[in-house]
């Protein structure tokens, strides 16, 4: 009987030999590039001997260096398929591997005493390997994200149990599609939960339908989120997954806590899990975020100010009403404020909202009307380019909104919220956010909430910067806007 494969041994999109071969070739190639920098271009320091030296004596060292890079990359688990590992973590592992490899080659220089050596050239080699290695990992991430976006290399996931942990998992998968997990549905024995889906993720019934759901929806991975007190039921579901030949994952009991509350320590090989409070939006973090908001508004002033003037002029020439539109929205901690936008609809559009809801059947918690007849000609252009939201910067300056955060709902939408949805109101609303860059208007309300909660639980300055950078192509390409 074959032993089960570890997670790092499971097949990935690219052949397993591809990256080790590419790393070895690149490591050998940087020796040649470093040789050119040292002997042809003479970067940093000129040669004392003006005579051209041959690359031949460096070939054995280049081969040994390439092999050392492979060994150290393998030792640092760079070839393991670890979902969610940060790019900067990979860069750190590359730097560590390069440092060890260079020290060994330098020691060989001193031991073997070859006639032709350049210690400065090894500095070039180390720097080039780090740059090339980091760039290759970044390119790999872009390529994999592109392929997964087009349905290549994804794992179709079925979640069993749609409690707090199940919803958190769903939020992570929806928020990070580049990880390659596609939630196709969930099972839950609670009749209320199994009767309605979560956005575009279908409710497929109770756990008794596990085998049929696996076969009919071509499930690759099943994730069970039940507590261990349901051990007997978990065992039964495990046997079903084995019979179907489907990968199974079980969320440990400790993960019923927020993953950010768990710190892992190592005591001489014994793992220790520490439980502590994690507050993404502590007082200091809120001050940092506020400072970033004001800095971005000031820096971008030469861009948004003239554009705003042109938009205002276009709206005045159209003559359908005032230039600015003010609307009551709900912000942090449920406080109401007046949000300002460029007017994109005819006057009296708000009075027609309820009638359009009844006619369209849209979700009243997040209604988006395609081909909305209330939108003016200029307004349609403003919405597709998101230029109607430029005046939101006034709300940012006033501290009512942030550059990044959950979109502020109207008081009418909040009346339809369930208790768990109010977590969106724990932080300042934003002009753009995690769900906007992942689908904009195409994202249903339940998915939007899970993505907002993912943002609240995982916030960092780097995350805000990532969202702002992803917003630019979304706006330029007019993706998901109407």
Distance CA 212, CA 201 (A): 17
Q: What is the pLDDT of residue 394?
A: 95
Q: What percent of the chain has pLDDT over 70?
A: 85
Tokens of 12: 């990935």
Q: What is the pLDDT of residue 202?
A: 86
Distance CA 205, CA 185 (A): 9
Q: Tell me whether strands 202-203 and 430-432 are parallel, antiparallel or unpaired.
A: unpaired
Tokens of 206: 């109770």
Q: What is the pLDDT of residue 6?
A: 42
Q: Which of 5-14, 34-43, 356-365, 367-376 has the lowest mean pLDDT?
A: 5-14
**Residue 324 contacts by C-beta under 8 Å, 6 or more apart in sequence?**
340, 341, 342, 343, 391
In this model, does residue 1 exceed pLDDT 50?
no
Top mean pLDDT of 39-43, 264-268, 437-441, 447-451 is at 447-451
- pLDDT average, residue stretch 403-413: 92
**Residue 353 contacts by C-beta under 8 Å, 6 or more apart in sequence?**
367
Give phi and psi for 233, each to the nearest 5. -70, -35
Q: How far, CA to CA in Å, does 10 sit from each of 6, 7, 13, 130, 215?
A: 7, 5, 10, 27, 21
Is the pTM of the predicted complex or chain greater than 0.85? Answer: no
SS3 99: helix
Give the DSSP per-residue string, 139-172: HHHHHHHHHHHTTSS-EEEEEE--SHHHHHHHHH
Distance CA 396, CA 392 (A): 6
446-459: pLDDT as tens digits: 888 888 888 888 88
SS3 48: coil
**Residues 335/297/469/133 CA torsion (nearest 10 deg):** -120
Distance CA 50, CA 89 (A): 42
Distance CA 30, CA 62 (A): 9
Q: Where are the alpha helices (DSSP H) in 319-426?
A: 353-360, 377-385, 392-397, 411-414
- pLDDT average, residue stretch 328-346: 93
What are the residues facing 248 on neighbouring strands? 222
* Residue 395 banded pLDDT, cuts 50, 70, 90: very high
In this model, does residue 360 exceed pLDDT 90?
no
Tokens of 448: 């939007």
**Residue 308 contacts by C-beta under 8 Å, 6 or more apart in sequence?**
390, 391
Top mean pLDDT of 221-235, 261-275, 321-335 is at 321-335
In this model, does residue 386 exceed pLDDT 50?
yes
Tokens of 186: 């969930």
SS3 415: coil
* Residue 197 banded pLDDT, cuts 50, 70, 90: confident
Go through the domains of the chain in sequence order and give each one's CATH number.
7-149 (no CATH), 155-275 (3.40.50.720), 283-350+370-476 (no CATH)
Cβ pair 434, 469 in contact under 8 A: no
**Residue 243 contacts by C-beta under 8 Å, 6 or more apart in sequence?**
211
Tokens of 284: 């200091």
In this model, does residue 257 exceed pLDDT 60?
no
Cβ pair 84, 50 in contact under 8 A: no
Q: Which of 62-66, 69-73, 138-142 has the lowest mean pLDDT?
A: 138-142
């Amino acid at each position: 009987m074959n032993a089960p494969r570890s997670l790092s041994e499971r097949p990935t999109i690219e052949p397993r030999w591809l990256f080790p071969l590419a790393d070895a070739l690149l490591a050998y190639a940087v020796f040649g590039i470093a040789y050119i920098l040292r002997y042809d271009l003479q970067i940093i320091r000129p040669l004392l001997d003006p005579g051209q030296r041959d690359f031949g004596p460096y070939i054995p060292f280049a081969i040994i260096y390439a092999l050392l890079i492979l060994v150290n990359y393998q030792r640092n688990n760079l070839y393991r398929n670890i979902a969610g590992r940060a790019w900067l973590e990979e860069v750190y592992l590359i730097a560590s591997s390069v440092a060890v490899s260079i020290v060994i080659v330098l020691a060989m220089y001193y031991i073997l005493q070859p006639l032709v050596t350049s210690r400065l050239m090894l500095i070039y080699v180390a720097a080039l390997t780090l740059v090339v290695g980091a760039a290759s990992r970044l390119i790999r991430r872009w390529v994999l994200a592109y392929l997964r976006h087009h349905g290549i290399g994804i794992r179709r996931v079925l979640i069993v149990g749609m409690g707090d942990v199940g919803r958190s998992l769903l939020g992570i998968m929806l928020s990070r599609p580049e990880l390659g997990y596609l939630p196709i549905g969930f099972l839950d024995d609670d009749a209320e939960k199994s009767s309605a889906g979560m956005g575009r993720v279908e409710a497929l019934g109770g756990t008794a339908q596990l085998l049929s759901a696996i076969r009919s929806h071509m499930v690759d991975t099943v994730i069970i989120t039940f507590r261990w007190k349901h051990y007997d039921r978990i065992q039964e579901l495990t046997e079903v997954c084995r019979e179907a030949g489907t990968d199974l994952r079980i969320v440990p009991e400790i993960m019923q806590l927020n993953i950010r509350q768990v710190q892992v320590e190592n005591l001489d090989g014994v793992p220790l899990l520490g439980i502590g409070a994690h507050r993404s939006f502590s007082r200091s973090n809120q001050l940092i975020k506020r400072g970033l908001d004001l800095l971005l508004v000031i820096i971008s002033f030469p861009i948004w100010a003239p554009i705003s003037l042109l938009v205002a002029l276009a709206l005045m020439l159209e003559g359908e009403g005032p230039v600015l539109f003010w609307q009551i929205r709900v912000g942090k901690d449920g406080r109401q404020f007046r949000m300002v936008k460029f007017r994109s609809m005819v006057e009296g559009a708000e009075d027609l909202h309820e009638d359009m809801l009844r006619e369209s059947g849209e979700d009243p918690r997040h209604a988006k009307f395609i081909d909305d007849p209330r939108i003016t000609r200029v307004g349609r252009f403003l919405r597709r380019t998101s230029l109607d939201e430029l005046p939101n910067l006034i709300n940012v300056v006033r501290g009512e909104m942030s550059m990044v955060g959950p979109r502020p709902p109207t008081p009418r939408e909040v009346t339809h919220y369930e208790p768990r949805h109010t977590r969106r109101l724990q932080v300042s609303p934003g002009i753009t956010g995690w769900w906007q860059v992942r689908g904009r208007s195409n994202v249903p309300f339940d998915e939007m909430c899970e993505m907002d909660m993912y943002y609240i639980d995982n916030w960092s300055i780097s995350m805000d910067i990532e969202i702002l950078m992803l917003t630019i192509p979304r706006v330029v390409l007019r993706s998901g806007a109407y």
